Structure 1
């Protein structure tokens, strides 16, 4: 019998932190669990990333209320994944913002992703019974949109495919701070199961072009200062390339998914084995890289059933 996914046995509570990354800008982080961001304007608040359930979202709200009593009016979601969006109802936001592509992915594969993620990583769905259903945006955009929280300008942009086809970043120009979602991680494995490996590096370049003073990444510690930002961007680039290049070689020779798995482990284990959620991400990363290397541009939909078929194949 195949062993369980690493994430199914990960039930340890993570310590949360609430770090100021710019004036009125905060990163809620949790030792490799999904992060959220907070943007405090003159008269209202925008939250970036909802968390997986309303109960977990309330942990973010508790931290917000320690620093401001302004109403939460906007919720920006960088992509469609269940662990990022299903806690949205807790905030009572007037606007829920996603890219057009991210909304389309909710329609196409949102329920399947929810079922898949819940099976793989049950700890991240604490209080799942309080989720009212799939999260849909009230507002969408194609390339970019701007929200004003009083005088504070917030730009929400699609800078390219990376973690998903619909990734958004949130840029606060008055402090040169960016909320990147899972395009950038810090000492946490990138989940690439819905990724676009060949586009990811250019999207990282597009982020670097803004010369952020700080970044609130999708997972891992807040990145405060240009040096830490640069290090994290290059570390993310190394992770993505180190995953894809061995698979590309295997696929070119007609090798199997199991061959690709072995090749990636040989390259990545020495560098990234101690990263948060590394073992959880690895099988999905290899499977997606194997598909992309064989010319499958649109990531196949993960379902609870497909998860187990892939995992059985890798157990060999």
Structure 2
């Protein structure tokens, strides 16, 4: 008899080793073996941080690394999307402005509370010292649509919405002078994309839009920093390949009239040999297949995940 899998990543208790990698004159990557990454940009007069870690206590380690390279004030925090594991550490940086796309703010309004409860339940290790998160949600103080340019002295930093993918609000941070891109969870490397709130049909084109910028370095949402055009291309190809493979399997199952459980079993078995070694593969697949099945059948926009819906879905697919 098969033992049911432990829900999501509740059994993931192993601490990860942090790397702080310089990508260019102005950009650094804070990465931790497949845990959520943070990107840092140091301009002439200020620092920008993209994605904040899950709690203010965890953000303190990022601040400590920043202080090893600069004493300039951390003026901006950019939220590449709305997920709790990316935003709840914001207060730990004490920024002057918290910036997101208007689409991301709309998602926080619509589903921020449910997402917070859901994510803390899924991945407790990533919410160390969760009691340090201020009451309520993390709200942007400034929003934009499409494109926003910040000037850190003479350093140009572009915030761009290049299309929907991981969420409808995805924002990338682009340094045209250094050709460095902070992608958020639109790009992963050696880590399984979480696609529970995704737009499978749009994501490949969004990756092509990233590729068109020709980044020389890239901070993915998870996994090591990508240095050089070859590594960047590999990261884009791997992420796009996974999304395409999930979609192809799910749509084939839907076309054959199979239910979600059967589609999940087929898709998991098909993708496991190719992607099973990636970080959080077992964690992500139930959410990814459920969302893709939804999109292929009757829900063009992602449904809200609640802690209760998480457990119900997991029991259905993995119980």
Match of 1:121 in 2: 123
Out of 248-257 and 22-31, give the one that drifted further.
248-257
1:246 aligns to 2:249 (yes or no): yes
Q: Is 261-270 or 135-144 further displaced after alignment?
A: 261-270
| Selected match of 2:206 from 191, 195, 203 | 203
Q: Hey, what's the Cα distance between the residues in 1 that align with 2:318 and 2:76? A: 44
The whole-number CA distance in structure 2 between the counterparts of 1:292 and 1:60 is 37
1:255 counterpart SS class: coil
Q: Give the number of aligned pairs.
A: 316
From 42, 45, 58, the counterpart of 2:44 = 42
Q: After TM superposition, give the deviation of residue 212 of structure 1 in Å.
A: 0.3
TM-score by length of 1: 0.98
CA distance, structure 1, for counterparts of residue 21 and residue 193 of structure 2: 22
Look up the SS of the partner of 1:198 in the other structure: coil
> Which residues of structure 2 form unaligned runs of 5+?
none
Query: TM-score w.r.t. structure 2 length?
Result: 0.97
Shift of 1:285: 0.4
The residue number in structure 2 matching 1:297 is 300
Q: How far apart, in 2, do the equivalents of 1:99 and 1:234 lie?
A: 26
Aligned residue number for residue 193 of structure 2: 190
Partner of 1:61: 63
Q: Is the counterpart of residue 262 in structure 1 residue 265 in structure 2? A: yes
Aligned counterparts of 1:27 and 1:3: Cα–Cα separation in 2: 33
SS at match of 1:155: strand
| Pairwise CA distance, 1:260 | 1.2
- Name the SS for the 2:166 alignment partner: coil
Instruction: Determine helix, strand or coil for the equivalent of 1:197.
Output: coil
SS across alignment from 2:41? strand
1:275 Cα offset (Å): 0.5
Instruction: Establish whether residue 232 from structure 1 lines up as the match of residue 235 from structure 2.
Output: yes
Give the SS at the match of 1:96: strand
Q: Does 1:20 align with 2:13?
A: no
Identify the residue that residue 33 of structure 2 maps to in structure 1: 31
Shift of 1:8: 0.5
**Structure 2 SS opposite 1:233:** helix
Q: Distance in 2 between matches of 1:278 and 1:315?
A: 13
Quote the Cα distance in structure 2 between the aligned partners of 1:91 and 1:290: 39
Identify the residue that residue 271 of structure 1 maps to in structure 2.
274
1:221-250 residue CA offsets vs partner (Å, 9 max, x unmatched): 000000000011001111111111100111
Q: Deviations over 1:60-115 (max 9, x none)?
A: 10100000010000001100000000000011111110000000000100010010
Kept in 1: contact 2:158–2:174 (CA 8 A)? yes
User: How far apart are 1:6 and its partner, in Å?
Assistant: 4.2
Contact 2:36/2:222, CA 8 A, preserved across alignment: yes
Q: CA RMSD in A?
A: 1.0
